[in-house]
Structure formats: C-alpha cells, structure tokens
C-alpha cells in the first residue's frame, strides 16, 4: 500500500509551534545567533535552560570522538586571528 504524499511529508520530530507562542525579542545588549530560519537569543535561552534544567536530558560527550579527519588540526586553529571578524 502506498503512503499518501502528505504522510511522507510529516516527520515525527517536526517542530510544532503552539498557538499561544510569543517570541522573546532580544533586549538591547542580548547576544543573538542567526542560523538559517532560526534567530537564537542566547541570553534568554541560557536563562530558560537554567530555570528548566530538570526538563532537559543531560549527556556527556567525548569531544575527541567527534574529531573529523578533514577538520583543521590544533596548529591551524592556534594560528587563527580571533581578533579579526570573518
């Protein structure tokens, strides 16, 4: 039996926005991060996580396990001029 086109487009992890959702606009000096469709308010996000820490699953990640062979090596990273914006 073939699935309909709509059932193929639905995803179990799809972001569903509640009807009463109101975005938190950044204050004058809040740190924000724009990533595609999302504009993260880092300041308010950190405060929210601190207030609701029991609602989040905490896991430990061994960073060295995520090192990619084609990523910059430590020497290259140390040479980066972090005082100059991209």
Between CA 40 and CA 2 the distance in angstroms is 39
Whole domain around residue 36: which residue ranges? 23-79
Domain count, the chain: 1
What one-character DSSP code corresponds to residue 22?
-
pLDDT in tens, 20-37: 888 778 888 888 887 777
pTM of the model: 0.42
Between CA 74 and CA 83 the distance in angstroms is 18
The gap from C-alpha 22 to its chain's centroid, in whole angstroms, comes to 19
At 17 the pLDDT is: 81
**Candidate ranges 36-40, 57-61, 62-66; pick with highest mean pLDDT:** 57-61
| Both tokens assigned to 46 | 């950190």
| Both tokens assigned to 25 | 């606009």
| Both tokens assigned to 54 | 């029991």
**7 lies in a domain?**
no
């Amino acid at each position: 039996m073939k699935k309909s086109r709509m059932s193929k487009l639905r995803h179990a992890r799809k972001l569903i926005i509640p009807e009463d959702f109101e975005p938190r606009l950044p204050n004058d000096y809040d740190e924000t991060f724009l990533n595609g469709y999302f504009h993260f308010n880092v300041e308010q996000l950190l405060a929210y996580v601190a207030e609701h820490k029991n609602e989040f699953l905490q896991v430990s990640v061994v960073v060295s396990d995520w090192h990619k062979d084609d990523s910059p090596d430590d020497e290259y990273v140390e040479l980066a001029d972090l005082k100059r914006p991209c």
